[in-house]
Amino acid sequence: MFTFRTQQFFAAAVASDLSQEVYRRTLMQPYSFHVRHNSSDLIGAITQDVGSVGGGCFALYPDAGGVNSLVVVGIALTLVAIDPGITLGVAIFLAVAYGVLLRLTNRRLARMLYFIRVRTAIVTAYENFIV
């Protein structure tokens, strides 16, 4: 899990740095460049290209999930071999904690979904009124 998060953070950092540099260089082009090119096309192309580079950074570790799974299984088997009682207790504790966090997260997501639906309905009503 930590490795996965670190990989995501690295890919996002690379994409962010690259995006800043590309936008800076684009803005530093002469006025004639900006007159010849549509700004929305430039922004769309930059966003798409930088996104693919960020995704490519994440794809550098194609089998990281398999390696992480093997490490977790190895640690679990070692803990069971050392002391099965404590390992079972910790496993039960983690399962309960995970269940509680999952329930709390689902409630929060449900509230957020309701808020988004209400706001979307309001925006749609305004759009229909304006048109």
pLDDT one-digit tens code per residue, 6-33: 777 777 787 788 888 888 888 898 989 8
pLDDT at 59: 59
pTM for the whole structure? 0.42
Clarify whether residues 88 and 108 are in a common domain. yes
Clarify whether residues 3 and 52 are in a common domain. yes
Q: Supply the range of the domain harboring residue 111.
A: 84-131
Contact yes or no for 54/15 (Cβ under 8 A):
yes
Contact yes or no for 50/22 (Cβ under 8 A):
yes
Domain count for the chain, please give it.
2
pLDDT at 1: 56
Amino acid at 63: D
Contact yes or no for 46/26 (Cβ under 8 A):
yes
* Cβ-Cβ contacts under 8 Å for 80 (sequence gap 6 or more): 87
Clarify whether residues 78 and 89 are in a common domain. no
Nearest to 5 by CA among 66, 58, 46, 81: 58
- Most confidently modeled of 35-44, 88-97, 120-129? 88-97
* pLDDT of residue 94 exceeding 80: yes
